[in-house]
Amino acid sequence: MPPLRDGFGASAEDGNVKQKPLIQLRDYQREVFRAKYRRLFLLWERRAGKSFTLASEALDLMMATPGDLVTFISASIVLGSEFLLKEVRLWQQFLDLYRKAATQAGLKLESNVDGLNLDDVADIFEHSKLETKLWHDNTTCSRSRVIAPNPDTAVGWGAHIMGDEIGRWPNAKEVLEAVIPFMRENPRLKMRLATTPPPDDSHITFEMFLPPQEEFPINPLGNWFKAPCGIMTHRLDCYDRYAAGFSPFHPDTGVPITPDEDRKLAYDKTAWDRNQGLRFVVGGAAAVPLMQLQNAMVRGRGNCFAYDITEELVA
């Protein structure tokens, strides 16, 4: 079964009737979906469809190669019930679309949450046991699974990696250290990571994906840059989405407003700058990371001197 990379979100002709795509992607989502990079990072504003984009790519990989495993690492599992329920609802939507897409392709899709209610699905999701199988024939299937960002089990994943909200993983450094070697072992494996800027500048993703500039041209398809960690990054802020036709709404009247009007109404403008404007806000951490200070002390031991400037000098 060939991948669906050229079919997702594209209309099809059925005689003289133009049919809408089953899985519809926005233009900026297709920009990422069709990218050929093995490693890719999505630096997107909140509610722009990061999870849906990653899930669509997961289905594409499952359909492309029989026997493949896609591991979807979700921060929602460790962030609490509100995030968890949001993610579960998304996955129920994904699975329904997956099943229809598989049927159209002559394949069979099943999961261990088929027929369960929301609470039961949430319980399975919370315990990292949500698994989907796409059967290519009677004996061969591709799988996807949703798990928590757990460094203790990361070394055994060995699969395509879809990492959602990595900026909120509590153990991101350890998890990345475990999964990045997968890319060296198998040239077919892909890694997709997505988040908004992390709340704390001590988080590893702050330095890994800090953009080379603060201002980017407004582009409805988003902007590309190579992050300091070497991974190609797609950036999409609220101004890009506004140019793509998606307006924020007034918190009281519900009428469409501009991003600047939305920011003016925000009580916590620092949070708005981070979540909607994708600003990497410095604060809440030391100017020099503790690890760098410790390395400097170890390397300089016995080869440097200190001068005490706290004592009062007497002439």
With respect to residue 137, please indicate whether it lies within any of the assigned structural domains. Answer: yes
With respect to residue 197, please indicate whether it lies within any of the assigned structural domains. Answer: yes
Name the residue among 138, 122, 104 with its Cα closest to residue 4.
104
Q: Which two tokens stand for residue 97?
A: 């679309």
With respect to residue 297, please indicate whether it lies within any of the assigned structural domains. Answer: no
300 or 218: whose pLDDT is higher?
A: 218
Is the distance from CB of 169 to CB of 175 less than 8 angstroms? Answer: yes
pLDDT at residue 242, rounded to an integer: 97
Q: Which two tokens stand for residue 94?
A: 């994904």
pLDDT at residue 47, rounded to an integer: 86
Q: Which of 61-70, 86-95, 149-158, 248-257 is predicted with the least confidence, judged by mean pLDDT?
A: 149-158
Give mean pLDDT, residues 16-39: 81
- Domain encompassing residue 212: 23-288
- C-alpha pair distances (Å), 285 with each of 104, 205, 260: 52, 14, 29
pLDDT band at residue 176, thresholds of 50, 70 and 90? confident
With respect to residue 309, please indicate whether it lies within any of the assigned structural domains. Answer: no
Q: Per-residue pLDDT for 206 more than 70?
A: yes
With respect to residue 304, please indicate whether it lies within any of the assigned structural domains. Answer: no
pLDDT at residue 205, rounded to an integer: 93
pTM over 0.85? The answer is no
pLDDT at residue 298, rounded to an integer: 61
Residue 103: which CATH number?
Answer: 3.40.50
pLDDT at residue 120, rounded to an integer: 83
- Of these ranges, 116-130, 162-176, 263-277, the one predicted with the greatest mean pLDDT is 263-277
With respect to residue 208, please indicate whether it lies within any of the assigned structural domains. Answer: yes
Domain count, the chain: 1
pLDDT at residue 1, rounded to an integer: 38
pLDDT tens by residue, 237-280: 999 999 999 999 999 999 999 999 999 999 999 999 999 999 99
pLDDT band at residue 155, thresholds of 50, 70 and 90? low
pLDDT at residue 74, rounded to an integer: 82
What is the percent of the chain with per-residue pLDDT over 90, rounded to a whole number? 35
Name the residue among 19, 168, 144, 162 with its Cα closest to residue 79.
168
- Average pLDDT over the chain, rounded to an integer: 82
Q: Give me the sign of the Cα torsion angle 59, 62, 63, 64.
A: positive
pLDDT at residue 11, rounded to an integer: 46
pLDDT at residue 307, rounded to an integer: 55
Is the distance from CB of 157 to CB of 241 less than 8 angstroms? Answer: no
With respect to residue 244, please indicate whether it lies within any of the assigned structural domains. Answer: yes
Q: Which residues contact 273 (CB under 8 A, 6 or more apart)?
A: 263, 279, 281
Q: Per-residue pLDDT for 225 more than 90?
A: yes
With respect to residue 46, please indicate whether it lies within any of the assigned structural domains. Answer: yes
Beta bridge partners of 145: 71, 131
47-76 per-residue burial string, b: 16 or more CB within 10 A, e: under 16: ebbbbbbbbbbbbbbbbeebebbbbbbbbb
Q: Per-residue pLDDT for 52 more than 80?
A: yes
Give mean pLDDT, residues 199-218: 92
pLDDT band at residue 154, thresholds of 50, 70 and 90? low
Which amino acid, 52? F
